[in-house]
Amino acid sequence: MKIKPEEVQTFRGATTRRNIAYSVHEYANESDETDAICKLVGEKLEQYAAPAKIIVQESGRGGQDGERSEAIVMMPAGRQEELQKKIARAKARTQPWKIQSCVMRPWETKQVEWEKMERFLSGSRCRRIYLDSEMDDQQDWKRCKVGEERCDVCEKDDAMVEDREARQAAYVEEQRVIQEQAAQAERKRQGLWVDSGINVPSSSMNILVPSSEVLVPRSVIVTSP
């Protein structure tokens, strides 16, 4: 078929799925990877009780039914941190995954693909950034969007923001209570000061009586005719 590339118009949907939550789980160095996977599956069995079923298969099948799915990568503990440091050092020097040659040699292609995978696994940024950039050529991704299952990186970031907002709200409420208590104490102090300023001797008190009655000593009431 003699078709020029510029004459071809491609129609396609997004490769990545909004209903998949991407995450990386780390297991202890002294633990066997198989044991870690069995433990994770056991936790999911508790989370999704019967009659739900957990089927272990390739992550590419996840989410095809439209239901929520999780794509989990298992790694030894500390590996994500190592990758983050490695990427930071590489970024400070150059950007080795951007090779200027038009045609890459096999080892260059393998290196580029490996570095892309390391960036996804590092957790230094939203995991969808690397997936959507590679699979759907989405270059403006910042984080998981509304309506998408959050990856573990965005979920952690959101939890930190929510915790900070909660602590800020608690501080504001605490200050409000302190100010209210101080205002109440001040009102009470002012009230005591006003009360103490009233000095009325008992001898100066007047008792009002009807005009037809006159009070005389010994509390005898004399009524006029």
d(CA 8, CA 23): 37
Query: Could you tell me if residue 215 is inside a domain?
Result: no
Where in 60-184 does DSSP place strands (E)? 69-76
Give the domain range for residue 39: 17-77
* pLDDT, the chain, mean: 75
State the pLDDT confidence band at 76, using cuts at 50, 70 and 90.
Answer: confident
Query: What does the pLDDT look like over 8-18, one tens digit per residue?
Result: 887 766 667 78
Query: Could you tell me if residue 140 is inside a domain?
Result: yes
Residues 87 and 54 in one domain: no
Number of domains in the chain: 3
d(CA 136, CA 134): 6
| Least confident residue range of 26-35, 78-87, 163-172, 184-193 | 26-35
Asked if pLDDT for residue 182 goes beyond 60, the answer is yes
**Domain boundary residue, one of 150, 180, 203:** 150
**Domain boundary residue, one of 28, 58, 77:** 77
Query: What does the pLDDT look like over 103-129, one tens digit per residue?
Result: 667 767 777 788 888 888 888 889 988
Residues 89 and 122 in one domain: yes
Output 99 or 191, whichever has higher pLDDT: 191
d(CA 210, CA 64): 97
Nearest alpha-carbon partner for 19 in 72, 74, 71? 71
Query: Could you tell me if residue 12 is inside a domain?
Result: no
Query: Could you tell me if residue 216 is inside a domain?
Result: no
Query: Could you tell me if residue 10 is inside a domain?
Result: no
Mean pLDDT within 173-181: 93
